[in-house]
């Protein structure tokens, strides 16, 4: 079989686990409970994509104000302002503020109603074409169908067709409850090309972070649970270690 092109994650240790990276055009569901690191993982994938691999990226913000996202990313030394304004290699699509508020008026890409799939797709397609994006992050995809679970599969397929069709590789963050075994519902889990799950488990009185690649179409990958850290430089995965949680 011809080797598929792999997209480097920009997360130390992660590409070893994925035997080189995420197969190009894959849509990866990044599932986890609250505070497991989904947002940081997604932002690192996009920021490093531009900085280290010269692959422009789009972040669709559904959970946080774009101003707050830029501030949070700075904590890790990821200053996206220059990438947005000077280099034009990074875009935040504001699907959070509905364009309301003084700060929101300065945003270039706004989705007024995230429930309107057509509007979201139009803005996303424009943004991808404007900067020649190769990577997309949606944080979180759960927000798009939390009030209409029957639409989850259709929404994910629609996004997948457009994003993958335009040659991009994507991470969709998916919110699950603490202790939940799934990844975001059967419709979604089967529709996506890959699933990476982030966990936070209490072991001997301390919370430990770990991740596991549950599925990844187009490549072999490690099936082991790997511990990871969040530091002031972002996520670091210990691809040579195993965490046993039971
Ligand atoms: N600078 C930092 N250094 C170390 N750890 C940090 C730093 N900033 C945040 N964290 C850790 O990351 C966690 C938040 O991660 P993140 O926002 O990616 O979670 P999430 O999975 O997106 O959560 P949610 O679904 O609740 O939004 C915090 O709870 C904290 O433990």
Whole-number Å distance between alpha carbons of 165 and 7: 16
What does pLDDT average to over the chain?
96
When pLDDT is cut at 50, 70 and 90, the band that residue 2 belongs to is: low
Question: 178 C-alpha to center of ligand 1: Å?
Answer: 15
Residues 6 or more apart whose CB falls under 8 angstroms from that of 45 comprise 9, 10, 11, 57, 135, 137, 171
ipTM surpassing 0.85? yes
User: Which residue's CA lies nearest to atom 1 of ligand 1?
Assistant: 232
pLDDT at 241 over 60: yes
Residue 35 marked as a ligand binder:
yes
pLDDT at 1 over 60: no
Number of helices (H) and strands (E), helices first, in the chain? 7, 11
Question: 158 C-alpha to center of ligand 1: Å?
Answer: 29
- Tell me the sheet residues that pair with 198: 32, 211
Residue 34 marked as a ligand binder:
yes
Given the CA of residue 198, which atom of ligand 1 is nearest to it?
A: 21
What is the residue whose two structure tokens read 């304004």? 85
Closest of 60, 38, 222, 246 to residue 137, by C-alpha = 60
Q: Is the pTM of this model over 0.90?
A: yes
Are 165 and 3 contacting, i.e. CB atoms less than 8 angstroms apart?
no
pLDDT tens-digit map of 65-81? 999 999 999 999 999 99
pLDDT at 149 over 80: yes
Given the CA of residue 63, which atom of ligand 1 is nearest to it?
A: 27
Task: Decide whether any atom of ligand 1 lies within 6 Å of the 40 Cβ.
Answer: yes
* Structural domains of the chain sorted by starting position, each given as residue range(s) with its CATH number in brackets: 6-237 (3.40.50.300)
Question: 1 C-alpha to center of ligand 1: Å?
Answer: 39
Whole-number Å distance between alpha carbons of 77 and 80: 9
Helix (H) or strand (E) holding 143: none
Given the CA of residue 139, which atom of ligand 1 is nearest to it?
A: 22
pLDDT tens-digit map of 172-189? 999 999 999 999 988 999
- Taking residues 183-202, what's their average pLDDT? 96
What's the pLDDT at 246? 80
What's the pLDDT at 85? 95
What's the pLDDT at 225? 98
User: Which residue's CA lies nearest to atom 5 of ligand 1?
Assistant: 230
pLDDT at 125 over 80: yes
- Taking residues 205-218, what's their average pLDDT? 98
Other Cβ atoms within 10 Å of 163 Cβ, number:
24
What's the pLDDT at 121? 98
pLDDT at 34 over 70: yes
Whole-number Å distance between alpha carbons of 41 and 46: 9
Task: Decide whether any atom of ligand 1 lies within 6 Å of the 230 Cβ.
Answer: yes
Whole-number Å distance between alpha carbons of 25 and 212: 20
Whole-number Å distance between alpha carbons of 4 and 168: 14
Q: What is the DSSP string of 197-233?
A: EEEEEEETTEEEEEEEEEEETTS----S-EEEEEETT
pLDDT tens-digit map of 130-145? 999 999 999 999 999 9
Residue 97 marked as a ligand binder:
no
pLDDT tens-digit map of 37-62? 999 999 999 999 999 999 999 999 99
Whole-number Å distance between alpha carbons of 95 and 118: 13
> Residue 200, exposed/middle/buried by CB under 10 A (0-12, 13-18, 19+)?
middle
Task: Decide whether any atom of ligand 1 lies within 6 Å of the 39 Cβ.
Answer: yes
């Amino acid at each position: 079989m011809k080797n598929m092109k792999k997209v480097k994650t920009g997360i130390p240790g992660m590409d070893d686990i994925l035997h080189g990276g995420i197969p190009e055009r894959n849509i990866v569901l990044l599932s986890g409970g609250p505070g497991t690191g989904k947002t940081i993982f997604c932002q690192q994938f996009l920021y490093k994509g531009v900085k280290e691999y010269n692959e422009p990226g789009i972040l669709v913000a559904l959970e946080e104000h774009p101003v707050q996202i830029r501030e949070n990313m700075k904590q890790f030394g990821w200053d996206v302002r220059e990438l947005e304004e000077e280099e034009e290699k990074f875009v935040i699509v504001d699907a959070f503020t509905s364009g309301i508020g003084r700060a929101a008026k300065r945003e270039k890409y706004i989705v007024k109603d995230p429930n309107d799939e057509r509007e979201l797709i139009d803005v996303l397609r424009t943004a991808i074409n404007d900067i020649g994006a190769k990577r997309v992050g949606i944080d979180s995809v759960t927000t798009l169908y939390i009030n209409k679970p029957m639409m989850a599969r259709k929404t994910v397929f629609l996004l997948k067709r457009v994003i993958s069709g335009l040659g991009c590789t994507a991470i969709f963050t998916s919110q699950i409850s603490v202790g939940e075994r799934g990844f975001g519902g059967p419709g979604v889990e089967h529709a996506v090309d890959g699933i990476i799950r982030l966990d936070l488990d209490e072991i001997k009185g301390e919370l430990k972070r770990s991740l596991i690649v549950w599925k990844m179409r187009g490549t072999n990958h490690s099936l082991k649970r790997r511990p990871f850290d969040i530091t002031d430089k972002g996520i670091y995965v210990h691809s040579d270690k195993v965490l046993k949680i039971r």
